[in-house]
A and B are shown apart, each in its own frame.
Chain A
Amino acid sequence: MTSAVDNSVALAPPKRRRVPVRRRIVPYVLIMPGMLLLAAMMVYPLIQTVVFSFAKVQLPTFRTSFIGLKNFTQIFGSDNLQPMLGRTLFWIVGTVVLRFILGFWAALTFNATVKGTIVLRILCILPWTVPSIASANLWRWLLQSDTGLIDQTLKVLGLPHLALNWLADPRTAMPVVMVAYSWAGFPFIMLLLLAGMQGIPKESYEAAKVDGANWWQLFRHITIPSLRGVIIVAILLEIISALNSFDMLYVLTTGGPGNSSQILSQFIYQTGFTSFNLGGASALSTLLLVVAFGIFLLYAVLNSRSTQREGRS
């Protein structure tokens, strides 16, 4: 690190280091394009979001005038905000839980390495590989009222009273989109968990079995603790992706009927680009930014705790 050391290296027959000054500049040159992109397309826009949230953005000139907290008071004063945040929370918790149940179930199933199940495993990965718009269309067709496969099958089974207009009924719209969304995402959780499970040494299971542990005890005291790190990462990724989700909701319900399946991301889009209230959309974005930041902090705390517990750095 010190120049004295570098000089002695330079004087000695050249080993691995070249001219130190050059070596100090090279990495910055290498990362320069990426960092410029990051500054122009991420740091600057994020600052803009916060600035706009305190401004009125006039259309079509895009002139901004500072209006203080007006955007925020308007948002927090609206009757729609609280139910919308409630739906967002319901969406996040619901989709994360559903994806985890399915993903964990699949990982446990396919970790058992029973002959022939590899084919089933490959089939289970398929939903994750389909583009979100294509999955949304597949589910839109399945969920069609009366003519969709689900309603038709219910009628074949003699349960016509259960055949609902899933996407147009405020009671079912959000839950069915949650199922569709979990369908598309559970394989990723499965793959993450499977990768984690393969890292658990077989010996720990065998030792516990000798001691007479049943499968639940194995699961509770060996599988879960060993997967702690993977699970935390997966939950973080899933919460962010749930906060971010837009495509499926847009194609399947566009937040409707009424507002019954509208969540924060949808609301930002509508405020900004249907009502053209860019200041309001920015205020909502700032709110979302704060929420996301809170989640990162929580993750950082959890992560440092779990690494402390496991005793590695």
Chain B
Amino acid sequence: MAILSTSHARRVAHHSVVWISGVTLAAFAVVPLLWGVSTSFKREADVYGFPPKWIPSPATLTNYLSVVRDPALVHEFVNTLIIAGTTTAIALVISILGGYGFSRYRFRGRDTLLWTVLLTQLFPRVVVIVPYFVILRNVQLINTYQGLVMVYLMVVFPVAIWMIKGFFDNLPKEIEEAAEMDGCSLLRILWSIIIPMSRPALAAVTMYSFILAYNEFLFALVFTNGLGKRPLSVGLAFFIDDTGVNWGELMAASLLMSLPAIVVFSLAQKLLVRGLSEGAVKG
């Protein structure tokens, strides 16, 4: 009995330690977000109120409405969709072909090339910013969608090809071999066997690639000027009007921008962590 109750007491103590520690961490994680949410529903007059109030009263949707109706923000959002969408589509095609090549064939230079791809993913991006600028200038693609897509391909493609190769490695080869014997062409095999079999993984890579391009800031900052072609990330860094920063609107806009990213990462979390870490751990 004595042993039982001490072990029970221990369990309770252990559980409460875990709970306290978890709650502390979760509070640290969500306070900045919750405060942003709270501010985004406040009237401009209440934003600076002291003492700080967590529940806005009255709550208002004004900030969200003016953000959605702001022509500049809408324009930047459309820019982001065009740039990130095009980048993702091209990167996906390149990565499916390349990933299949790396996964199914052994050829001279394979390992070297594969590692080169990984290394480029790990190199600090700032390093290539000057040559990118000069290249884009020379082909006159500064401040264009095409220019940013070109640059973003390099951001997205190394991760995408590694993840896709990893997923293809885990697919059974037998079906392809049977199809090949029946005289199926390679493109046919890819299109009607490989792609349907790896649909969830490809969906994850697609979403991740999209979000990578969606979130990118540095290249967009340097390679665009003015409102014309700049994406939302740059827009939100310069979201200041003549009266200074309107915090309610800035929080509403930032949260709206975060929403797709939060959804994607939460849905594909396991696949992403596996894909990202496997790429770095295994050859």
A binds B: yes
Please tell me if the beta carbons of B273 and A195 are within 8 angstroms of each other in the complex.
yes
Q: Which residues of B contact A247 (CB under 8 A)?
A: 217-218
Question: Closest CB of chain A to B146's CB: distance in Å?
Answer: 13
Q: Which residues of B contact A261 (CB under 8 A)?
A: none
Give complex CA distance A253, B48 in Å: 22
Is A4 part of the contact surface with B, judged by Cβ < 8 Å? no
Q: Which residues of A contact B28 (CB under 8 A)?
A: 102, 183
Please tell me if the beta carbons of A41 and B151 are within 8 angstroms of each other in the complex.
yes
Is B41 part of the contact surface with A, judged by Cβ < 8 Å? no
Please tell me if the beta carbons of A138 and B126 are within 8 angstroms of each other in the complex.
no
Give complex CA distance A91, B126 in Å: 16
| Size bracket, chain A contacts | 35 or more
Q: Kindly identify which residue among A122, A133, A141 contacts B39, using a CB–CB cutoff of 8 Å.
A: A141
Is A84 part of the contact surface with B, judged by Cβ < 8 Å? no
Knowing A123-B26, A191-B273, the reply to whether A129 touches B261 (Cβ < 8 A) is yes
Question: Closest CB of chain B to A50's CB: distance in Å?
Answer: 10
Please tell me if the beta carbons of B269 and A125 are within 8 angstroms of each other in the complex.
yes
Q: Kindly identify which residue among B117, B132, B274 contacts A34, using a CB–CB cutoff of 8 Å.
A: B117
Q: Which residues of A contact B21 (CB under 8 A)?
A: 105, 109
Is A229 part of the contact surface with B, judged by Cβ < 8 Å? yes
Knowing A114-B19, A131-B233, the reply to whether A183 touches B94 (Cβ < 8 A) is no
Is A250 part of the contact surface with B, judged by Cβ < 8 Å? yes
Give the segment of A165-173, A205-213, A265-273 that binds chain B. A265-273
Knowing A125-B269, A132-B215, the reply to whether A244 touches B125 (Cβ < 8 A) is yes
Question: Closest CB of chain A to B134's CB: distance in Å?
Answer: 6
Please tell me if the beta carbons of B154 and A42 are within 8 angstroms of each other in the complex.
yes
Q: Which residues of A contact B48 (CB under 8 A)?
A: 147
Knowing A112-B18, A131-B214, A183-B32, the reply to whether A49 touches B25 (Cβ < 8 A) is no
Q: Which residues of B contact A159 (CB under 8 A)?
A: none
Knowing A131-B261, A141-B35, A285-B129, the reply to whether A229 touches B153 (Cβ < 8 A) is no
Give complex CA distance A195, B97 in Å: 29
Please tell me if the beta carbons of A130 and B29 are within 8 angstroms of each other in the complex.
no
Is B188 part of the contact surface with A, judged by Cβ < 8 Å? no
Please tell me if the beta carbons of B266 and A122 are within 8 angstroms of each other in the complex.
yes
Question: Closest CB of chain B to A167's CB: distance in Å?
Answer: 13
Please tell me if the beta carbons of B258 and A109 are within 8 angstroms of each other in the complex.
no
Please tell me if the beta carbons of B130 and A272 are within 8 angstroms of each other in the complex.
yes
Question: Closest CB of chain B to A62's CB: distance in Å?
Answer: 6
Please tell me if the beta carbons of B186 and A26 are within 8 angstroms of each other in the complex.
yes
Is B128 part of the contact surface with A, judged by Cβ < 8 Å? yes
- B73-123, CB < 8 A from A: 93-95, 97-98, 100-102, 104-105, 107, 110, 113, 116-117, 119-120, 122-123
Please tell me if the beta carbons of A120 and B122 are within 8 angstroms of each other in the complex.
no
Please tell me if the beta carbons of B105 and A27 are within 8 angstroms of each other in the complex.
yes
Is B8 part of the contact surface with A, judged by Cβ < 8 Å? no
Q: Which residues of B contact A38 (CB under 8 A)?
A: 116-117, 120
Instruction: Name A234's closest neighbour in chain B (CB-CB).
Output: B277
Give complex CA distance A132, B261 in Å: 11
Please tell me if the beta carbons of B32 and A33 are within 8 angstroms of each other in the complex.
no
- A1-56, CB < 8 A from B: 14, 16, 18, 23-24, 26-31, 33-35, 37-38, 41-42, 44-46, 48-49, 52
Q: Kindly identify which residue among A46, A195, A264, A296 contacts B122, using a CB–CB cutoff of 8 Å.
A: A296
Please tell me if the beta carbons of B51 and A31 are within 8 angstroms of each other in the complex.
no
Give the segment of B57-65, B197-205, B246-254 that binds chain A. B246-254
Please tell me if the beta carbons of A229 and B107 are within 8 angstroms of each other in the complex.
no
CB 8 Å contact bits of A132-174 with B (1 = contact, 0 = none): 1111111101100001010011011000000000000000000
Q: Which residues of A contact B31 (CB under 8 A)?
A: 149
Knowing A34-B95, A285-B127, the reply to whether A109 touches B22 (Cβ < 8 A) is yes
Is A121 part of the contact surface with B, judged by Cβ < 8 Å? yes
Please tell me if the beta carbons of A133 and B97 are within 8 angstroms of each other in the complex.
no
Please tell me if the beta carbons of A44 and B101 are within 8 angstroms of each other in the complex.
no
Please tell me if the beta carbons of A246 and B126 are within 8 angstroms of each other in the complex.
yes
- A284-302, CB < 8 A from B: 285, 288-289, 292, 296
Name 7 A/B residue pairs within 8 A (Cβ), A-sorted: A46-B127, A49-B130, A120-B22, A123-B26, A132-B217, A133-B254, A281-B129
Query: Could you tell me which B residues sit within 8 Å of A by CB distance?
Result: 14-15, 18-19, 21-23, 25-26, 28-33, 35-36, 39, 47-48, 50-52, 93-95, 97-98, 100-102, 104-105, 107, 110, 113, 116-117, 119-120, 122-135, 137-138, 150-151, 153-154, 157, 161, 177, 180-181, 186, 211, 214-215, 217-218, 221-222, 233, 236-237, 239, 247, 250-251, 254-255, 257-258, 261-262, 264-266, 269, 273-274, 277, 280-281
